[in-house]
Amino acid sequence: MVPHLVTALNGPINELEQRILESMPAIERWFRLEWMEHTPSFYCSVDLRNAGFKLAPVDTNLYPGGWNNLRPDMLPLAVQAAMAAIEKICPEAKNLLLVPDHHTTSPAYLSNLARLARIFNLAGLNVRLGSLSNDIKAPTTLDLPDGETITLEPLIRTKHRLGLKDFDPCTILLNNDLSSGVPGILEELHEQYLLPPLHAGWSTRRKSNHARAYEEVAKRFAKMLGMDHWLINPAHARCTDIHFADGKGMSELQAQVDAVLTKTRRKYKEYGIHEKPFAVIKPDNGTNGLGLMTVRDAKDLESLSPQALERLAASKDGHPVSQVLVQEGVLTNERVQDAVAEPVVYMMDRYVVGGFYRVHTDRRTDESLSAPGASFVPLAFDQSAQLPQPGAKAGASVPNRFYMYGVIGRLAMLAASYELEATDPDADISE
């Protein structure tokens, strides 16, 4: 199903793969113990980039779409994981209300919703969809590309509960990243399980918090394996109080970009990597590719055109970006035929339940593949991430590569747990 991947894997990544495989029981035990202390996100997808010499997560999505891109024969894994998740959160659950992103009505996104609804239905729940959109005033049935349909219904809020007409859910699952803020209709719902919690939305979440949490996780993981955490952890820095329109904070940004590039250059030298380091500037909140910028030299920031500055300041919700994450750029060296490919790992509860490759035909290896506009082909992982083959030659085995991706994906998911604990507005500060 999946075309042959032409990859340029060399030294460090093969050592990483080998070390991960050798340490499999220790890794699985480590995750088990971590999940005793930290609650996994209900569901999660993680974008990875495999540079051949380095493998790192570049985006951790706590409201994952794209479930329709997984292979249908992976569905039982997702259903089983959903059963485990529900059992822990709300064993008496009957009704699940799924709240979609109301800005997106593309056929692909609707197929994603249908797939999610099917997973939770097969896990034993009555699932209905409630829309935040003002346009949905009555149950509205939409056609899907495969001939199926889904029905969006208007939400009904009472003082303490959210539901639909004749549908009182005990659990509300958001598939909406709240990047335009938390709607009042979702606030103060103390009688129902609202998943993920509101502070996982982009109105609260910051990429720099996640990067910091991931760094902590990556360091502890790397220590256990006796390896350099840089192999799985991109260097990063945060810049606040930037005002792109009048150039305020630009020199600080330039200094941070320079610091990240210098650190990366040193590591490239240490590992004998003959590539030119680059950094990516991302808005600290928000999920889409608007405002992303690739920088190869800090000096480039001195001579940005007004258009470039405007792009950097632009965000989904219209507020100008004033805080950014500067992240070491990670090349993606995986190819499907001649197109650049980037793996995306899907998790439900603590389990890796599948993944796919995001394949772009008109993007370079150092560009974001999740930016809009590029032509994008999803290629479902053709195997489970749970079947490593310890005997296989490093770098030559698809099951082993998928296992490694599943491990790094889970590290990012664990980092999200750390991150949400640290930013939980209801947490007891005295702890």
Q: Which residues bind a copy of itself (CB under 8 A)?
A: 24-25, 27-29, 31-33, 35-36, 73, 75-77, 79-81, 83-84, 86-87, 91-94, 121-126, 350-351, 384, 386-388
Minimum CB separation from a copy of itself for residue 301, in Å?
46
Beta-bridged to residue 281, according to DSSP, are 293, 326
Nearer to a copy of itself, 48 or 93 (CB): 93
The closest alpha carbon to 342, from 374, 389, 384, belongs to 374
Minimum CB separation from a copy of itself for residue 386, in Å?
4
Q: How far is residue 252's CA from residue 256's CA, in Å, rounded to a whole number?
A: 6
Nearer to a copy of itself, 36 or 138 (CB): 36
Residue entry with tokens 């010499």? 53
- Yes or no: say if 107 and 74 are a contact pair by the CB < 8 Å rule: no
Nearer to a copy of itself, 146 or 302 (CB): 146
Nearer to a copy of itself, 113 or 239 (CB): 113
Minimum CB separation from a copy of itself for residue 27, in Å?
7
- Yes or no: say if 335 and 7 are a contact pair by the CB < 8 Å rule: yes
Q: CB burial class (10 A; 0-12, 13-18, 19+) of residue 280?
A: buried
- Yes or no: say if 352 and 40 are a contact pair by the CB < 8 Å rule: no
End-to-end Cα spacing for the chain: 50
The closest alpha carbon to 263, from 279, 239, 282, belongs to 279
Minimum CB separation from a copy of itself for residue 1, in Å?
13
Nearer to a copy of itself, 192 or 384 (CB): 384
Cis? peptide before 277, omega within 30° of 0: no
The closest alpha carbon to 414, from 233, 224, 214, belongs to 214
Minimum CB separation from a copy of itself for residue 319, in Å?
42
Encoded tokens for 92: 């008496």
Nearer to a copy of itself, 87 or 302 (CB): 87
Minimum CB separation from a copy of itself for residue 43, in Å?
15
The type of residue at 6 is V
Minimum CB separation from a copy of itself for residue 68, in Å?
16
Minimum CB separation from a copy of itself for residue 122, in Å?
6
Encoded tokens for 306: 């007004």
Minimum CB separation from a copy of itself for residue 84, in Å?
6
Nearer to a copy of itself, 84 or 377 (CB): 84
Nearer to a copy of itself, 240 or 389 (CB): 389
Q: What share of the chain is helix, strand, coil (3-state, %, to 5)?
A: 35, 25, 40
Minimum CB separation from a copy of itself for residue 384, in Å?
4
Beta-bridged to residue 153, according to DSSP, are 130
| 72-85 b/e (C-beta count within 10 Å ≥ 16 → b) | eebbebbbbbbbeb
Phi, psi at 407, each rounded to 5°: -65, -50
The closest alpha carbon to 343, from 59, 23, 62, belongs to 59
Minimum CB separation from a copy of itself for residue 25, in Å?
5
Nearer to a copy of itself, 36 or 429 (CB): 36
Q: How far is residue 138's CA from residue 148's CA, in Å, rounded to a whole number?
A: 19
Nearer to a copy of itself, 86 or 339 (CB): 86
Nearer to a copy of itself, 88 or 137 (CB): 88
Beta-bridged to residue 156, according to DSSP, are 163
